[in-house]
A and B are shown apart, each in its own frame.
Chain A
Protein backbone atom coordinates (compact mmCIF):
# COMPACT_ATOMS: atom_id res chain seq x y z
CA UNK A 1 0.00 0.00 0.00
CA UNK A 2 1.24 3.47 -0.86
CA UNK A 3 1.19 5.90 2.08
CA UNK A 4 1.73 9.60 1.43
CA UNK A 5 2.28 12.48 3.83
CA UNK A 6 1.87 16.23 3.43
CA UNK A 7 2.86 19.43 5.23
CA UNK A 8 4.08 18.98 8.83
CA UNK A 9 3.13 15.29 8.82
CA UNK A 10 5.63 14.83 5.97
CA UNK A 11 8.23 16.87 7.87
CA UNK A 12 7.81 14.93 11.13
CA UNK A 13 7.99 11.56 9.43
CA UNK A 14 10.76 12.75 7.13
CA UNK A 15 9.30 11.17 4.00
CA UNK A 16 6.83 12.29 1.34
CA UNK A 17 5.69 8.73 0.63
CA UNK A 18 6.50 5.08 1.24
CA UNK A 19 5.31 1.59 0.45
CA UNK A 20 3.92 -0.13 3.55
CA UNK A 21 3.30 -3.86 3.92
CA UNK A 22 0.20 -4.13 6.06
CA UNK A 23 -2.83 -6.26 6.75
CA UNK A 24 -4.56 -3.46 8.68
CA UNK A 25 -8.33 -3.56 8.28
CA UNK A 26 -9.00 0.12 8.97
CA UNK A 27 -7.16 3.42 8.87
CA UNK A 28 -7.01 3.39 12.68
CA UNK A 29 -5.34 -0.06 12.57
CA UNK A 30 -2.78 1.24 10.06
CA UNK A 31 -2.05 4.24 12.27
CA UNK A 32 -1.56 1.91 15.26
CA UNK A 33 0.92 -0.15 13.22
CA UNK A 34 2.82 2.91 12.00
CA UNK A 35 3.07 4.33 15.53
CA UNK A 36 4.98 1.27 16.70
CA UNK A 37 7.52 1.57 13.87
CA UNK A 38 9.66 4.44 15.09
CA UNK A 39 9.57 7.48 17.35
CA UNK A 40 9.00 9.89 14.43
CA UNK A 41 5.72 8.12 13.54
CA UNK A 42 4.62 8.25 17.17
CA UNK A 43 5.27 12.00 17.13
CA UNK A 44 3.42 12.56 13.84
CA UNK A 45 0.37 10.53 14.88
CA UNK A 46 0.22 11.58 18.54
CA UNK A 47 -2.92 13.71 18.08
CA UNK A 48 -5.35 12.27 15.54
CA UNK A 49 -7.74 15.18 15.97
CA UNK A 50 -5.07 17.31 14.24
CA UNK A 51 -4.94 14.94 11.26
CA UNK A 52 -7.04 14.25 8.21
CA UNK A 53 -6.97 11.18 6.00
CA UNK A 54 -7.73 10.54 2.32
CA UNK A 55 -8.23 7.10 0.77
CA UNK A 56 -7.44 6.91 -2.95
CA UNK A 57 -7.56 10.72 -3.03
CA UNK A 58 -11.01 11.07 -1.41
CA UNK A 59 -11.40 12.53 2.09
CA UNK A 60 -12.25 9.81 4.57
CA UNK A 61 -11.97 9.07 8.31
CA UNK A 62 -10.01 6.93 10.72
CA UNK A 63 -12.74 4.30 11.10
CA UNK A 64 -12.87 3.63 7.34
CA UNK A 65 -12.01 0.21 5.88
CA UNK A 66 -8.81 -0.18 3.86
CA UNK A 67 -10.23 -2.97 1.73
CA UNK A 68 -9.26 -2.38 -1.90
CA UNK A 69 -7.50 0.88 -1.05
CA UNK A 70 -4.24 1.56 -2.93
CA UNK A 71 -3.23 4.95 -1.56
CA UNK A 72 -3.62 6.39 1.94
CA UNK A 73 -2.72 10.02 2.65
CA UNK A 74 -2.24 11.69 6.03
CA UNK A 75 -2.13 15.47 6.40
CA UNK A 76 -3.15 18.37 8.65
CA UNK A 77 -6.43 20.25 8.12
CA UNK A 78 -6.30 21.94 4.73
CA UNK A 79 -5.61 25.66 4.33
CA UNK A 80 -6.49 26.52 0.75
CA UNK A 81 -8.02 29.63 -0.78
Chain B
Protein backbone atom coordinates (compact mmCIF):
# COMPACT_ATOMS: atom_id res chain seq x y z
CA UNK B 1 0.00 0.00 0.00
CA UNK B 2 1.29 3.43 -0.87
CA UNK B 3 -0.34 6.70 0.24
CA UNK B 4 1.06 9.99 -1.00
CA UNK B 5 -0.21 13.46 -0.04
CA UNK B 6 1.75 16.05 -1.94
CA UNK B 7 1.69 19.52 -3.41
CA UNK B 8 3.73 18.61 -6.48
CA UNK B 9 2.20 17.27 -9.71
CA UNK B 10 2.56 13.53 -10.36
CA UNK B 11 3.10 11.57 -13.55
CA UNK B 12 0.03 9.34 -13.88
CA UNK B 13 1.65 7.25 -16.64
CA UNK B 14 4.82 6.58 -14.68
CA UNK B 15 2.84 5.84 -11.52
CA UNK B 16 0.50 3.42 -13.31
CA UNK B 17 3.46 1.66 -14.96
CA UNK B 18 5.39 1.32 -11.69
CA UNK B 19 2.24 0.08 -9.94
CA UNK B 20 1.62 -2.62 -12.58
CA UNK B 21 5.25 -3.67 -12.75
CA UNK B 22 5.32 -4.21 -8.98
CA UNK B 23 2.58 -6.85 -9.15
CA UNK B 24 3.12 -10.60 -9.19
CA UNK B 25 -0.24 -12.25 -8.41
CA UNK B 26 -2.76 -9.93 -10.05
CA UNK B 27 -4.64 -10.24 -13.30
CA UNK B 28 -6.25 -6.79 -13.06
CA UNK B 29 -5.06 -3.30 -12.27
CA UNK B 30 -7.55 -0.42 -12.23
CA UNK B 31 -6.49 3.22 -12.16
CA UNK B 32 -8.68 6.26 -11.66
CA UNK B 33 -7.51 9.84 -12.15
CA UNK B 34 -9.32 12.90 -10.78
CA UNK B 35 -8.91 16.05 -12.88
CA UNK B 36 -9.67 19.71 -12.14
CA UNK B 37 -12.92 20.42 -13.96
CA UNK B 38 -13.85 23.90 -15.13
CA UNK B 39 -16.84 25.39 -13.29
CA UNK B 40 -20.33 25.72 -14.80
CA UNK B 41 -19.57 29.26 -16.01
CA UNK B 42 -16.37 28.12 -17.70
CA UNK B 43 -14.24 30.79 -15.99
CA UNK B 44 -12.30 28.83 -13.40
CA UNK B 45 -8.82 30.30 -13.02
CA UNK B 46 -7.51 28.19 -10.18
CA UNK B 47 -8.53 25.41 -7.82
CA UNK B 48 -7.06 25.65 -4.33
CA UNK B 49 -7.11 22.54 -2.17
CA UNK B 50 -6.62 22.84 1.57
CA UNK B 51 -6.03 19.79 3.76
CA UNK B 52 -5.42 18.78 7.36
CA UNK B 53 -1.78 17.63 7.54
CA UNK B 54 -1.51 14.51 9.65
CA UNK B 55 -5.20 13.65 9.63
CA UNK B 56 -5.20 13.44 5.83
CA UNK B 57 -2.58 10.69 5.79
CA UNK B 58 -4.34 8.83 8.63
CA UNK B 59 -7.75 9.04 6.96
CA UNK B 60 -6.41 7.86 3.58
CA UNK B 61 -4.55 4.97 5.21
CA UNK B 62 -7.70 3.96 7.08
CA UNK B 63 -9.81 4.01 3.90
CA UNK B 64 -7.19 2.06 1.91
CA UNK B 65 -6.78 -0.46 4.74
CA UNK B 66 -10.51 -1.02 4.82
CA UNK B 67 -10.46 -1.66 1.06
CA UNK B 68 -7.77 -4.33 1.49
CA UNK B 69 -9.89 -5.99 4.18
CA UNK B 70 -13.00 -6.08 2.00
CA UNK B 71 -11.42 -7.14 -1.28
CA UNK B 72 -8.55 -9.46 -2.11
CA UNK B 73 -6.13 -6.77 -3.28
CA UNK B 74 -2.48 -7.27 -4.01
CA UNK B 75 -1.74 -3.56 -3.84
CA UNK B 76 -3.36 -0.13 -3.42
CA UNK B 77 -2.01 3.28 -4.40
CA UNK B 78 -3.52 6.65 -3.45
CA UNK B 79 -1.98 9.97 -4.52
CA UNK B 80 -3.80 13.20 -3.60
CA UNK B 81 -2.48 16.69 -4.19
CA UNK B 82 -3.14 19.88 -2.28
CA UNK B 83 -2.36 23.53 -3.05
CA UNK B 84 -2.90 25.42 -6.30
CA UNK B 85 -4.08 23.73 -9.49
CA UNK B 86 -5.38 24.81 -12.89
CA UNK B 87 -8.24 23.38 -14.97
CA UNK B 88 -7.21 20.02 -16.52
CA UNK B 89 -4.50 19.45 -13.89
CA UNK B 90 -4.56 16.08 -12.19
CA UNK B 91 -5.72 16.28 -8.59
CA UNK B 92 -5.46 12.69 -7.50
CA UNK B 93 -5.26 9.07 -8.55
CA UNK B 94 -6.03 5.69 -7.09
CA UNK B 95 -4.86 2.32 -8.32
CA UNK B 96 -5.98 -1.11 -7.18
CA UNK B 97 -4.79 -4.56 -8.18
CA UNK B 98 -6.42 -7.94 -7.71
CA UNK B 99 -6.54 -11.41 -9.24
CA UNK B 100 -9.79 -10.50 -11.02
CA UNK B 101 -11.17 -7.26 -12.36
CA UNK B 102 -14.41 -7.07 -10.36
CA UNK B 103 -12.55 -6.69 -7.06
CA UNK B 104 -10.17 -4.12 -8.53
CA UNK B 105 -13.03 -2.02 -9.98
CA UNK B 106 -15.16 -2.23 -6.85
CA UNK B 107 -12.28 -1.37 -4.54
CA UNK B 108 -11.37 1.65 -6.70
CA UNK B 109 -14.98 2.90 -6.51
CA UNK B 110 -15.06 2.31 -2.77
CA UNK B 111 -11.83 4.31 -2.36
CA UNK B 112 -13.20 7.17 -4.45
CA UNK B 113 -16.53 7.29 -2.60
CA UNK B 114 -14.83 7.51 0.79
CA UNK B 115 -12.08 9.86 -0.38
CA UNK B 116 -14.71 12.39 -1.42
CA UNK B 117 -16.32 12.83 1.96
CA UNK B 118 -14.09 11.19 4.58
CA UNK B 119 -10.64 12.55 3.74
CA UNK B 120 -10.01 16.09 5.05
CA UNK B 121 -9.64 18.05 1.83
CA UNK B 122 -11.52 21.24 0.95
CA UNK B 123 -11.70 22.65 -2.55
CA UNK B 124 -11.95 26.32 -3.32
CA UNK B 125 -12.74 27.64 -6.80
CA UNK B 126 -11.04 30.87 -7.80
CA UNK B 127 -12.31 32.97 -10.72
CA UNK B 128 -11.22 36.40 -11.86
CA UNK B 129 -13.51 38.06 -9.33
CA UNK B 130 -14.52 35.48 -6.75
CA UNK B 131 -13.30 32.72 -4.44
CA UNK B 132 -15.86 30.16 -3.33
CA UNK B 133 -15.64 26.97 -1.30
CA UNK B 134 -17.02 23.94 -3.08
CA UNK B 135 -20.05 22.62 -1.16
CA UNK B 136 -20.30 18.93 -0.42
CA UNK B 137 -23.07 17.10 -2.26
CA UNK B 138 -25.76 15.03 -0.64
CA UNK B 139 -25.21 12.38 -3.30
CA UNK B 140 -21.60 12.00 -2.13
CA UNK B 141 -22.83 11.13 1.36
CA UNK B 142 -25.49 8.83 -0.12
CA UNK B 143 -22.82 7.07 -2.17
CA UNK B 144 -21.30 5.68 1.04
CA UNK B 145 -24.48 3.82 1.91
CA UNK B 146 -24.05 1.27 -0.87
CA UNK B 147 -20.93 -0.07 0.85
Residues of chain A touching chain B, judged by Cβ–Cβ distance below 8 Å, are: 4, 6-8, 54, 57-59, 73, 75-81
Contacts and interface: CB of A to CB of B under 8 A. Distances in A.
Given A6-B50, A6-B52, A73-B52, A78 B120 contact: yes
Interface residues of B, number: 26
B52 A57 contact: yes
Contacts of A78: 116-122, 136
B133 A76 contact: yes
Contact of B80 (A58, A73, A80): A80
Chain A CB within 10 Å — which of B91, B135, B136 has the most?
A: B136
B122 A76 contact: yes
A79 B121 contact: yes
B5 to A, nearest CB: 10
Contacts of B133: 7-8, 76, 79
Nearest to A4: B52
B37 to A, nearest CB: 12
Given A54-B55, A75-B52, A6 B120 contact: yes
B119 A80 contact: yes
25 contacts: A4-B52, A6-B50, A7-B133, A57-B52, A57-B58, A59-B118, A73-B52, A73-B120, A75-B122, A76-B133, A76-B136, A77-B141, A78-B117, A79-B117, A79-B123, A79-B133, A79-B135, A79-B136, A80-B80, A80-B92, A80-B117, A81-B91, A81-B116, A81-B119, A81-B121
B136 A77 contact: yes
Contacts of B68: none
Contacts of A7: 50, 122, 124, 133
A79 B134 contact: yes
Contacts of B58: 57-58
Nearest to A10: B50
B101 to A, nearest CB: 22
Contacts of A79: 116-117, 121-123, 133-136
Given A79-B121, A80-B116, A57 B55 contact: yes
